Amino acid sequence: MNAADLNGHLPPEAESPHDPAVLEEARLFLQRWEAPAPDPAARSRLMAALTLEMATQRAAMRQGAIDQAERVMPRPVDTRRTLGGAWLLLWSQTWVIHPLLWMASALVISLGALVSLTLRTGELLPLTLVAPVVAAFGVALLYGQDSDPAIELILATPVSPRIIVLARLALVFGFNLLLTLAFSAALSLLRSDVSLGSLVLDWFAPMTLLSGIAFFASALFFDPLASALFSLIIWALVVARHLEIAWAGNILDQLPDLLRPELQLPMIIIGVIVGALALARVEYEEKWTEHAQF
């Protein structure tokens, strides 16, 4: 039954389908109307069409879910390709760092180890004093306007500036670490009163802390020279605390003694935290610079 069938049974004088006469006529018509007998063949064709359509829709939804999962899930990492890219990045940044930085670090640490070899037992080894400040000085020169004069070119590369700075940090800090470790091993072999483990902790803990401070200062002020001088002043005060200076003895005694063995672990932890904050600062500066360019 359709609207045309129903309209054909309405009284001609009816003006509204809500007229009681119209409703009564429609009720009587529906009572007299007989539904057609169901056609099994037509019903089978309809069910087959609906089943096919539902199967198609389920297959499309399943494939869409698989595609979405493939986009979200991380792909397997090609270790050889990743390591190769990291090595190429480190190698490229080796040539960016000024050669005098490598030479100066090696020279100062070598002199510190040589003087440490000639000192008598019981004195504070110069290697412990020079290694932290040399590493911090080098780390402070990694980031800033003088270190990255062509910052626009760096931002245009596919590698993030944060990764580039991290590669430079690994190179400079790793170079000083390995060089000082080699001289420490040589001192422990040539001097029976020197313990390799104690000597390494004596310079590694302040090296980590001072390098973290220098890196954070360079990321914060964007001035490598000021960051290097800031680290130098801090370490000079620490070293002066152990010297017999009459006029400044009471003042320096108020400063924390960073050469105490019980402070070695806290210094390493604080240095790592400060370095991580510096990397976060570099990432912030990267996003701000890219936003300013657009």
DSSP string, 247-292: TTHHHHTTS--TT-GGGHHHHHHHHHHHHHHHHHHHHHHHHHHHHH
Confidence at 292, pLDDT banded by 50, 70, 90: very low
Mean pLDDT of 278-284: 79
* pLDDT for position 236: 85
Average pLDDT (36-65) is 80
Q: Please tell me which of 156-160, 161-165, 274-278 the model is most confident about, judged by mean pLDDT.
A: 274-278
Confidence of residue 144 (pLDDT cuts 50, 70, 90): low
Q: Is the pLDDT reported for residue 257 higher than 80?
A: no
Rounded mean pLDDT of 8-29? Answer: 66
CB 242 within 8 A of CB 259: yes
Mean pLDDT of the chain: 76
CA distances from 227 to 233, 250, 294 (A): 10, 27, 30
Residue 246's pLDDT is what? 54
Digit-coded pLDDT (tens) for 267-276: 999 999 998 8
- What is the pLDDT at residue 158? 54
pLDDT at 186: 92
CB 109 within 8 A of CB 127: yes
Task: Report which residue type is found at 192.
Answer: S
Which one is predicted more confidently, 215 or 281? Answer: 215
Distances (CA, A) of 294 to 90, 183, 288: 30, 50, 10
Does the structure show a pLDDT above 80 at 86? no
Tell me, what's the pLDDT at 269? Answer: 94
